Amino acid sequence: VSAPSRSPKGFPKLKNDTFLRAARGEETEYTPVWCMRQAGRYLPEFRETRAAQDFFATCRSPKACCELTLQPLRRFPLDAAIIFSDILVVPQALGMDVVMTPGKGPTFPEPLKEVEDLLKLRQKVDVTAELGYVFQAITLTRHSLEGKVPLIGFSGAPWTLMSYMIEGGGSTTMAKAKSWLYRHPDASHRLLRLLADVIADYLVGQVAAGAQALQLFESHAGHLGPEQFQDFALPYIRDIARDVKSKLKSEALPLVPMIVFAKDAHYALRDLARAGYEVVGLDWTIRPQDARAQTGKDITLQGNLDPCALYAPMEKIGELVQKMLEGFGTQRYIANLGHGLYPDMSPEHVGAFVEAVHAHSRHMNKQ
């Protein structure tokens, strides 16, 4: 007897499944495209909606998250939406304080300093109690999308979250967090295991709420060398894929495609391609042909235009997109940037990027 399904019923029928088809390695008429941080400050309407609100208060408002998620889709023919939220809601669920400091970014007033500080974290997290507001935002947004495109849910990966929790914010060296890996390997593994378990439950909850794909952001992979990545990042990235899939099965939830994006981790591409994810996201520092050679034919790749290419003149953006598509090929491929959009980018240039992906890939498919 299968477990009673928690998946909410009655969602609008999906009209454009190109992104999901590409993620699963099925043939597509054109190459789908979305942008990391497409719901962001580069849009004047985003700045207006967010103007007076505290950042994490916005994250906790399903209505605000839904509106911010939909804004870029009103402007551009994107092939996927990604729920507006933040990776640091997970440390908050573990009981840590995080505030968004203007001009500085996220700040932890009391970061983890000593191994004993791990005892202050919640050891068992009820994700529905702590992060239910994200699930509500996903369900509301999935209905509000009216089946236009699929909705992506996401989480930060364990090492990236651990580095924030110890550094207390952004850092150019990650020296405090990395010193834990060298000085306190056992405690580091305890923290990473705790995070991996919460993340798996959180991602499963997002699917139950209506997410149709999931992305895991290992944004700080580039601060690790190959050996530290092997020891402290990759095992947890693998475990999350495995645990999410087995929980989705046992709860009779849809098996949605999963994407892993480990920024600056080209040294680990072969391993990432075998880590249990359907899609491997790439930053802009690797050639498409090299990425294909390392990941093989059974993986969909996502990426990887340099975000700064969007500062180029409009016609130049088209040329860069064409070159990128020629490098990846139009199939088993999702076009994206190699990282998120920056706040000072022109919406017109983002539009030119999206249109160029559609136009060039359609043309190439006809050839």
The torsion of the CA quartet 133, 19, 363, 286, rounded to 10 degrees, works out to 80
Domain boundaries in the chain? 17-366
**Model pLDDT, residue 103:** 84
CB 333 within 8 A of CB 21: no
**What is residue 240's three-state secondary structure?**
helix
User: Mean pLDDT, to the nearest integer, of 114-130?
Assistant: 98
Query: What is the residue whose two structure tokens read 């700064």?
Result: 308
**Model pLDDT, residue 162:** 98
In Å, how far are 359, 362, 364 from 325, measured between CA atoms? 11, 11, 9
User: Mean pLDDT, to the nearest integer, of 349-364?
Assistant: 98
Per-residue model confidence as pLDDT tens digits over 330-348? 999 999 999 999 999 999 9
Percent of all residues in the chain with a pLDDT value above 70, rounded to a whole number: 98
**Model pLDDT, residue 328:** 98
Per-residue model confidence as pLDDT tens digits over 279-335? 999 999 999 999 999 999 999 999 999 999 999 999 999 999 999 999 999 999 999
The residue that leads in pLDDT, 103 or 76, is 76
The residue that leads in pLDDT, 327 or 3, is 327
Q: Using 50, 70 and 90 to split pLDDT, how confident is the model at 245?
A: very high
Mean pLDDT of the chain: 96
**Model pLDDT, residue 30:** 98
Give every CB contact of residue 13 below 8 A, 6+ residues apart in sequence: 147
Query: What is the residue whose two structure tokens read 């130049």?
Result: 316
Judge whether residue 9 has pLDDT over 90.
no
**Model pLDDT, residue 7:** 60
Provide the CA 160 distance to its chain's centre, in angstroms.
Answer: 12
Task: Tell me which fold the domain 17-366 belongs to.
Answer: TIM Barrel (3.20.20)
How many CB atoms within 10 Å of residue 86? 17
Per-residue model confidence as pLDDT tens digits over 184-217? 999 999 999 999 999 999 999 999 999 999 999 9
Which of the residues are catalytic? 37, 41, 50, 86, 164
Per-residue model confidence as pLDDT tens digits over 126-170? 999 999 999 999 999 999 999 999 999 999 999 999 999 999 999
Question: Model pTM?
Answer: 0.97
**Model pLDDT, residue 52:** 81
Q: Using 50, 70 and 90 to split pLDDT, how confident is the model at 5?
A: low
User: Mean pLDDT, to the nearest integer, of 46-64?
Assistant: 94
**Model pLDDT, residue 176:** 98
**Model pLDDT, residue 42:** 98
Judge whether residue 2 has pLDDT over 50.
no
**What is residue 267's three-state secondary structure?**
helix
Alpha helices per DSSP H over 77-157? 89-93, 127-144
